[in-house]
Structure 1
Amino acid sequence: MMGTTTSHDENQATRGSPGEVFAAFLKLGLTSFGGPIAHLGYFRDELVQRRKWIDEASYADLVALSQFLPGPASSQVGFALGLLRGGPLGALAAWAAFTLPSALLLVLFAYGATAFGGPVGSGIITGLKIVAVAIVAQAVWGMARNLCPDRERATIALGAVLVIILFAGPLGQVAAIAAGATAGLLFCRNHHEAITRHIDFPVSRTLGVISLVVFFALLFGLPIVTTAMSSQGLAVFDSFYRAGSLVFGGGHVVLPLLETEVVRSGWVNHDQFLAGYGAAQAVPGPLFTFAAYLGTVLEPAPNGLVGAGIALIAVFLPGFLILLGAIPFWDSFRKRESAQALMRGANAAVVGILGAALYDPVFTSAIVGPRQFALALTCFVLLMAWKAAPWIVVLVAAAGGVLIGAA
Structure 2
Amino acid sequence: MIHECMKNMPSILRFLLTCKKNAASKIGNGIADTLRHTWYLGLTCFGGPPVHFQIFQRLFVDKYAWIDEQMYKEIFSLCQALPGPASTKMLYAINIIHNGLIAGVVSFFVWCLPGAIAAFGLGVGVSKINDTLPAPAYALLSGLNAATVGIIALAAVQLSQKAITDKLTRILVFAAACAGMLYNALWYFPVLMIMAGACTIFWDYRRQLHYATVKLIIRLQKIIACGCSPGDANEEAQVNLDEIELQDLANGESCMPATVSHRLASVKPPSAGGSVTALPVIGHADSDVVIDGTIENDTTRFVPPDLELQVLSWKVGITIICIFFISFIVIMVIRATVPSVPLAFSIFANFYLAGTIIFGGGPVVVPLLREYVVTEGWVSSRDFLLGLAICQAFPGPNFNFAVYLGILAGHNNYNLITGAVLGFFAIFTPGIVLHTGTMGVWKSLRRHRWFVCALRGINASAVGLIFTAVYRLWQQGFLSKTFTSGSSLGLDPWWVVISATAFVGGRWFNLAAPVAIVLGGTMGMVWYGVNS
Q: What's the TM-score, normalizing by structure 1?
A: 0.90
For residues 51 and 15 of structure 1, what CA distance do their matches in structure 2 show? 19
Quote the offset at 1:365 in angstroms.
Answer: 0.3
For residues 270 and 167 of structure 1, what CA distance do their matches in structure 2 show? 18
For residues 136 and 264 of structure 1, what CA distance do their matches in structure 2 show? 21
Within the candidate set 399, 404, 407, 2:527 is matched to 404
Q: How many residue pairs are counted as aligned between the two chains?
A: 395
C-alpha contact 2:27 2:100 (8 A) present in aligned 1:
no
Within the candidate set 298, 302, 312, 1:196 is matched to 302
Partner of 1:7: none
CA deviation vs aligned residue, 1:52-103 (integer Å, no higher than 9, x gap)? 3223322222122111111111111111223233333212210110001111
Within the candidate set 353, 363, 366, 2:474 is matched to 363
CA deviation vs aligned residue, 1:261-287 (integer Å, no higher than 9, x gap)? 111111111121122111122111111
Within the candidate set 143, 152, 157, 1:127 is matched to 143
CA deviation vs aligned residue, 1:26-48 (integer Å, no higher than 9, x gap)? 21111111111211222222233
Partner of 2:207: none
Structure 1 gap segments, 5+ residues each? 1-11
Partner of 1:41: 54
Residue aligned with 1:170, SS: coil
1:148 to 1:54, Cα distance in 2 relative to 1, 3 A: closer
C-alpha contact 1:249 1:347 (8 A) present in aligned 2:
yes
Q: Does 1:106 align with 2:106?
A: no
Within the candidate set 233, 250, 259, 2:344 is matched to 233
For residues 318 and 117 of structure 2, what CA distance do their matches in structure 1 show? 34
C-alpha contact 1:109 1:293 (8 A) present in aligned 2:
yes
From the CA coordinates, give the structure whose radius of gyration is larger. 2
Match runs of 1:161-310 below 5 Å:
161-165=177-181, 167-188=183-204, 190=291, 192=295, 193=297, 196-197=302-303, 199-226=308-335, 228=338, 230-299=341-410, 300-302=412-414, 304-310=416-422
The code of the aligned residue for 1:356 comes to T
Partner of 2:96: 83
Residue aligned with 2:187, SS: helix
Structure 2 gap segments, 5+ residues each? 1-24, 205-289, 478-488
For residues 16 and 44 of structure 1, what CA distance do their matches in structure 2 show? 23
Partner of 2:458: 346
Larger fraction in helix:
1
Q: Does 1:324 align with 2:433?
A: no
Residue aligned with 2:83, SS: coil
For residues 100 and 26 of structure 2, what CA distance do their matches in structure 1 show? 13
1:184 to 1:302, Cα distance in 2 relative to 1, 3 A: farther
Q: Does 1:381 align with 2:504?
A: yes
More divergent stretch after superposition (195-204 vs 277-286)? 195-204
4+ residue runs over 4 A deviation: 12-15
Quote the offset at 1:137 in angstroms.
Answer: 0.8
The code of the aligned residue for 2:52 comes to H
Quote the offset at 1:245 in angstroms.
Answer: 0.8
C-alpha contact 2:311 2:439 (8 A) present in aligned 1:
no
For residues 415 and 187 of structure 2, what CA distance do their matches in structure 1 show? 26
C-alpha contact 2:95 2:107 (8 A) present in aligned 1:
yes
The code of the aligned residue for 1:385 comes to W
Within the candidate set 84, 88, 94, 2:107 is matched to 94
For residues 293 and 147 of structure 1, what CA distance do their matches in structure 2 show? 30
Partner of 2:14: none
For residues 39 and 382 of structure 1, what CA distance do their matches in structure 2 show? 19
1:255 to 1:302, Cα distance in 2 relative to 1, 3 A: farther
For residues 36 and 379 of structure 2, what CA distance do their matches in structure 1 show? 35
1:311 to 1:107, Cα distance in 2 relative to 1, 3 A: same
CA deviation vs aligned residue, 1:189-234 (integer Å, no higher than 9, x gap)? 5251455325233312232122212221232221333453611111
Q: What's the TM-score, normalizing by structure 2?
A: 0.70
The code of the aligned residue for 2:104 comes to A
1:111 to 1:126, Cα distance in 2 relative to 1, 3 A: farther
